[in-house]
Amino acid sequence: MQHHPPEDWADKCAWDRYLSAKAEESEVFHARSHNPLQFVKFAIERGGHVWFSGCGVDPAPRAYAALGCSVLATDLSTVAVEWQRARGSEPPTALFEDWASWVSEHGLAEAAGTLTATEHDFTTTAPAGPFDVMINRRAFHGLSAAAKAAGARHFFRALRPGGAAIFDTLNIQGKERSLIEDCLIEAGFYVPFHKSERWYRDKLDATGIVYAMILGRPIVPHWDQYPAKKFAEFEKRDRDILMSFRPEYEQRRVEEAPEVQATLENPGTIAAHMIYSTG
């Protein structure tokens, strides 16, 4: 059964209902395809003190703890916290059917980490830190502008100098990406390649063409923006226009790279890394 998050992301009761339904699904997790696990080595190298904000019924906090991290998993939802506490006592092999092979393939080893789960609203306060890494998986982009701004400030305060925040979003496009990045920058975060990405999005938006970014490239979606019989002709025309900005965008990325590397190597930088997933 397909479940959808609440329309009002501040509605605790709605989140409890939604996550109750998700928790009842007999979902089998796969370490190889579970997006948050790609950051395990990064988190361990940074120090291993990890905050999963808006953790939901995600098995990643348990996986990180099983690999030696000190993990805090927080959520507005009581259901989510109870799920994390219940699953936190299980071996990771009970959550991921390919756990052993995945750990071996990535040169990792199980270690005695910790997992603490507690109810917390990151739009109101920051938990006691500091943390090396904060991971927010699809629990930020649907908030109101004011709530996002408040959350961004609390994320920033919870991280140590040199720490990093990782945001995994879903189906966020165009100006909405810029709005999210703006609130993070205003909170004090450094967003790598922000200048190049903003230039690219501004150029694409200025064309007035309906587009969506898929795997970092603009595509013309098959919606109702053209007469049906003319779609192929108009799609090709507009795709060519959108792709005409690609060479300069890629050059700007190359030129910005030294600045990005130097800023990330600065021990005082607190970076926000964005993942714009679609699906």
Domains and CATH numbers, the chain: 1-170 (3.40.50.150)
Other C-beta atoms closer than 10 Å to the C-beta of 251 total 11
User: What pLDDT sits at residue 270?
Assistant: 98
Report d(CA 18, CA 4) in Å as an integer. Answer: 7
Torsional sign, CA 259, 261, 262, 266: positive
pLDDT of residue 279: 67
Rounded CA separation 143/123 (Å): 9
Predicted local distance difference test score (pLDDT) of residue 24: 84
- β-bridge pairing 212-214 and 217-219: antiparallel
Q: What is the pLDDT along the chain (279 residues), one digit of tens a residue?
A: 557 889 999 999 999 999 999 888 767 899 999 989 999 999 999 999 999 999 999 999 999 999 999 999 999 999 999 999 998 889 999 999 999 999 999 999 999 999 999 999 999 999 998 999 999 999 999 999 999 999 999 999 999 999 999 999 999 998 899 999 999 999 999 999 999 999 999 999 999 999 999 989 999 998 888 998 899 999 999 999 999 999 999 999 999 999 999 999 999 999 999 999 986
Tokens, residue 266? 């600065």
The encoded tokens of residue 67 equal 């690999």
Structure tokens, 8? 């009002």
Please give the model's pTM, rounded to 2 decimal places: 0.94
Distance CA 108, CA 67 (A): 7
DSSP assignment letter at 61? H
* Ramachandran area for residue 223 (φ above 0: left; ψ -120 to 50: alpha; else beta): beta
pLDDT at 278 (0 to 100): 85
Going by their DSSP bridges, the two strands 131-137 and 217-219 should be labelled as: unpaired
Phi–psi pair at 165, nearest 5 degrees = -110, 140
Q: What 3-state DSSP class applies to 114? A: strand
- Cα 247 to Cα 103: distance, rounded to the nearest angstrom: 39
Q: DSSP string covering 189-224, please? A: -B-TTHHHHHHHHHHHHHTT---EEETTEEE---SS
